[in-house]
Amino acid sequence: MQRSKAGLGLAAVLALALVLGLGCAADQKAGAPSPSAKTPSWWFHDIVDAAFVQQYAKVPQPKGVMIIDARPKRAKYDKGFIPTAVSIPYSKFDKMVDKLPKDKSTLLIFYCQGPT
């Protein structure tokens, strides 16, 4: 009898994990834009390579350009960053928009850790 209860308990835990896992997957899919939905033009204009960024990563920084390091400050930025880059972690972006330039024609180059 004891073994049967343990088996039922394990089965119940696995069933709960499956239901929760499928529920989370469904939520993620529901929140993601459908392939037919057009991505707003202000999200990304271009994804560039290191050669493109290198021409702007100079001291002094060229006018009309801002390089933004979107990685976590303490965990990544403090350990090394592109010269002249400003730390605006993606997790705190909404609270730090005042660090963005007032001139809306400024070229903003964001970088992060990349795909993981």
What share of residues in the chain are helix, strand, coil (percent, to 5)? 40, 10, 50
**pLDDT value, residue 44:** 62
**pLDDT value, residue 41:** 58
pLDDT level of residue 92 (50, 70, 90 thresholds): very high
pLDDT level of residue 49 (50, 70, 90 thresholds): confident
pLDDT level of residue 10 (50, 70, 90 thresholds): very low
